[in-house]
Chain A
Amino acid sequence: MSGERKFRYVGTRPVRHDGLDKVTGRANYGADFTLPGLLHGYVLRSPHAHARIVSIDTSAADAVPGVKAVVTGADIPKSTAMLSLGGGKGGFDLADMGDNLLAHDKALYEGHAVAAVAATSAEIAREAAEQIAVVYERLPPVLTVDQALAPNAAILHDRLVTKGQPLPDAPTPTNVAMRMELRGGDVDKGFAESDIIVEYEFTTPMVHQGYIEPHACVARYGEDGQILVWTSTQGPFIVRDCCAGILGLDAATIKVVPSEIGGGFGGKIPVYLEPVAIALSRKAHRPVKMVMSRDDVFRASGPTSGAKVRMKIGVKQDGTIVAASGSLYYEAGAYPGSPAATGAMCALAPYKIPNFVIEAFDIVVNRPKVAAYRAPGSPSAAFATESVLDEIARRLGFDPIDLRLKNAVEEGDAAPYGPKYGPIGLRQVLEATKNHPHWQAPLGPNQGRGVGCGFWFNAGLSSSATVSLSSDGSATVVTGNPDIGGTRVAQSIMVSEELGIPVERVRATVADTDSIGYSDLTGGSRVCYATGMAVIKAAQDVRDQLRARAAKIWDVDVDSVAWNDGCAVPLEPADDRTPLTVHQLAEKIAQTGGPIIGRASVNAPMAGPAFAASICDIEVDKETGVSRVVRYTTIQDVGKAVHPSFVEGQMQGGAAQGIGWALNEEYIYSPDGLMQNAGFLDYRMPVASDLPMIDTVIIEVENPLHPYGVRGVGEVPIVPPLATVANAMRDATGIRFTDLPLSPPRVLEALARY
């Protein structure tokens, strides 16, 4: 616990060491790697949203000159394993993941991979793949939650039964993979006691994380059975363990080298190409490179769930929330695994509500299998809760921030999912929001203002770190976490803080899976928190070893040596021995015992959740329906900002993604289940001219579990914007929009109706 600790390097803004390579184009991403003898892989994908695969004849492709290997689902064993992060059961269902990357019996979405070809050029691979004869028996597509729940809906998986807590008359087989419920108090009694009740049904669309770098990898299956995979991923160990599990190999035979990663946001946690590339390489006896096209990324990677959410909240006249009930329906895509349970846990998390019931459904549909996207589940749930509260504030005549403050959870309150909150910063975030000049600034014509808040956990999980000190006093820190947003420089700062050497002399590296201990993914807002813990401990290990070396030099017991301000000093204040600096101790590394390597591994608990809020001013053009965000402020409790610029970057990036989700992004499907807008022109993400400067306010309520008080920062910023923007639209137009995105055609249609 840092308490009143004065930091020397934490909180500063050094330029990141790896930045030079990025501004000069030298940094190597997934598609920038090559090996001698490289082949190019191409994936043949289903043109149908739902079909039985009757037969696949690859003979024509095999015969094309330049083709060295062809694989289908028959080359991927039907695994029955479940892979949990860090080992153990639960987590990724490898049977589903294996079927997703090469279909066995059914094509479950347009874009579902059915075969792959490796050839001497990308063009030959593609032309050969198009000669593979696949016989499909088309089935009716199920595209939405409502279609999936309809009485005679086509069923995606014959053997699917509803896990968790199914409704009493739940049919089998079904498209409902899971139902769960959270309940507290007596919700009927609560509503009976309410003075005002507001209920709406909301929808949020399926959206894509939108990382600019498509998935890309190179795999080489060596004749000795050793496998090298170069890939753009958020989790090299996850890639390793998924490939091992799916292909039935030992994890130790696979070395995964993570490239620089061009964005992930959760979408680069699963594997799509790597096991296929390994299988092709094994058959071809040459390395194989596979890169997704942008079209593939939209149709066949892992967007996040669209959702339907019914939310009903009851309050007393004095603004106290007494009851809430919600039903959340999430699209899982082709296989079970939407963030339904997580959404349910987040929906009411910021508020003290004595009587509540939340149910959540994980529903399969003929769309790509969903993957995580920044605080999965929480944005859709918060959209509902924060919109309803906004409406309640209007009806009560309450300031919307005061309404939230009145009901805000504090340390010691129970979360809706059970445990009590430790120290949290919701109140501070809301007060900072209320006191921000943005909240009082005047609005122009056709402008409206909205506010919203949200909640997210930060993951703990396992991380490893080593810190090595060179004899010249410089240091390296090595972890297994790809750097998506500046975590390497944050790690350098942490080592500097512990050892007292300048940040420029500490180099942080992301290592391959052979060179560092197991580390869970980059994501889940966990790198500065959990990997940071490991880095700090490894640096402290170095410090302890340096104290022992000083003890040797002074010929005293190590317990009489302390550490202060970058030096080994005598513990006894009366001892006037000259302190030994890191530099001086480093020079004597060889003489005092040999190399100094600090190491640590952690399996951190999930603790120290984060709250965020935002204020949005929107201007609506009533002739065209175009809405423009003219001002946006985001406020967040980050625990402790190790490198404030990169913390601000996370806040701004998450806000921009949330704004895009609210205003323009959505997967548009034909009734046949074919995606109509699988490109950046029509899948409309925010561009520079769409957004104003995004002001950030960093609140620091220390997380007691981390030595510096760090909380995860990466995900919660995307949670408030959906409702914040919709609330601003309500203010600007008088219309309560319940269906996102608020694209111009929708806005025009609503303006015409009201």
Chain B
Amino acid sequence: MTTLHVQTTINREPAEFLCEPVETLLDALRDRLNLTGTKEGCATGDCGACSVLFNGRLVPSCLVLAAEVHGQEVLTVEGAAHGDTLHPVQQKLLEHAALQCGICTPGFVVAAKALLDHNPNPTEEEARYWLAGNLCRCTGYDKIIRAVLDAAESMRSDTREVTV
């Protein structure tokens, strides 16, 4: 097996790692870069716990090969906040008590950020369908959706510039 050298940008900073050709981005993030915020729930792209943004696009990192991110940009949950400033989605999830065990939360943070990047004013139905790829077993989704819609509203009314 050839070992590949991947140079990429993770959470706005340059990063590099060695990996096998068959290794997934999920495994590289967790095992090579020690970014364990992204979780493995199924390894078949069905649960959303491994959600990351790949060049701004929401993808399950268990279905992306690590080698594919060479020269590209990846955002994980660890990059959602800017220093001490949480992303509004993160803040609202906390305020609405929209997490219980929290294992799905990183995936929802990334997926919800992608939603609001794409559609700053989603309806409840649009939010639910966008987030249908993120499984949660604890909450029944009620508080998560409320938090995401609340984050959308606060972002629309926020006059501060938020760099993404």
Contact = CB atoms under 8 A, between A and B. Distances in A.
B120 interface: no
B46 interface: yes
Contact of B101 (A25, A294, A485, A656): A485
B128 interface: yes
B137 A486 contact: no
Given A484-B101, A687-B135, A688-B128, A20 B94 contact: yes
A646 B97 contact: yes
A25 B106 CA distance: 6
Given A15-B95, A262-B103, A645-B96, A655 B140 contact: yes
Given A25-B78, A485-B100, A694-B140, A688 B41 contact: no
B105 interface: yes
A15 B93 CA distance: 10
B137 A263 contact: yes
Contacts of A656: 137, 139-141
B38 to A, nearest CB: 7
A752 interface: no
A492 to B, nearest CB: 14
B144 A688 contact: yes
A260 B76 CA distance: 20
A23 B94 contact: yes
A686 B125 CA distance: 15
Contact of A294 (B44, B106, B145): B44
B139 A653 contact: yes
B164 interface: no
Nearest to B80: A24
From A25, A643, A646, A685, residue with most partner B Cβ within 10 Å: A25
A209 to B, nearest CB: 8
Contact of B36 (A25, A263, A657): A25
A685 B142 CA distance: 15
B49 A212 contact: yes
B65 interface: no
Interface in A236-277: 260-265
Contacts of B40: 31, 214, 291
B43 A294 contact: yes
A657 B42 CA distance: 19
Contacts of B136: 212, 688
Interface in A309-345: none
A24 B90 contact: yes
Interface in A619-671: 643, 645-646, 648-650, 652-653, 655-657
Interface residues of B, number: 56
A211 B42 CA distance: 11
Contacts of A23: 77, 86, 90, 93-94, 99, 102, 105-106, 109
Contacts of A655: 140
B18 interface: no
Contact of A652 (B44, B81, B140): B140
Secondary structure at the B interface, as helix, strand, loop or mixed, is loop
Nearest to A294: B42
Given A24-B81, A32-B36, A15 B94 contact: yes
Interface string A473-487: 000000000001110
Interface in B98-146: 99-106, 109, 124-125, 127-129, 131-146
Contact of B137 (A22, A25, A648, A657): A657
Given A23-B94, A688-B131, A263 B140 contact: no
Secondary structure at the A interface, as helix, strand, loop or mixed, is loop
Contacts of A688: 127-129, 131-132, 134, 136, 141, 144-145
A23 B42 CA distance: 20
B47 interface: yes
Contacts of B132: 687-690
A380 to B, nearest CB: 20
Contacts of B105: 22-23
Contacts of B104: 212, 262
A653 B100 contact: yes
Interface in A204-219: 209-214
B116 to A, nearest CB: 15
B94 to A, nearest CB: 5
A211 B137 contact: yes
A126 to B, nearest CB: 12
B47 A680 contact: yes
Contacts of B125: 689
Contacts of B96: 645
A655 B49 CA distance: 22
B103 A679 contact: no
A652 B139 contact: yes
B44 to A, nearest CB: 6
Contact of B100 (A27, A29, A486, A691): A486
Contacts of A183: none
Contact of A685 (B76, B78, B131, B137): B137
A79 interface: no
A577 interface: no
A486 B81 CA distance: 23
From A260, A652, A653, residue with most partner B Cβ within 10 Å: A653
Given A649-B139, A652-B140, A212 B95 contact: no
Contacts of B47: 212, 294, 680
Contacts of A693: 124, 142, 145-146
B37 to A, nearest CB: 2
A656 B146 CA distance: 16
A260 B36 CA distance: 13
Interface string A133-150: 000000000000000000
Contacts of B142: 652, 691, 693-694
A16 interface: yes
A210 B42 contact: no
A681 B138 contact: no
A566 to B, nearest CB: 26
28 contacts: A20-B94, A28-B36, A31-B36, A31-B40, A211-B137, A212-B47, A212-B101, A260-B101, A262-B101, A262-B103, A262-B104, A263-B101, A263-B103, A291-B40, A294-B41, A294-B42, A643-B97, A648-B97, A649-B143, A656-B137, A656-B140, A685-B137, A687-B133, A688-B129, A689-B129, A690-B132, A691-B128, A694-B140
Given A29-B39, A645-B143, A690-B132, 10 more contacts: A24-B37, A211-B101, A260-B103, A485-B138, A655-B140, A679-B46, A680-B41, A680-B47, A685-B137, A688-B145
Q: In the A-B complex, list the 8 residue pairs whose CB atoms are closest, starting with the nearest.
A: A25-B37, A262-B103, A656-B140, A22-B102, A645-B97, A680-B46, A652-B140, A25-B77
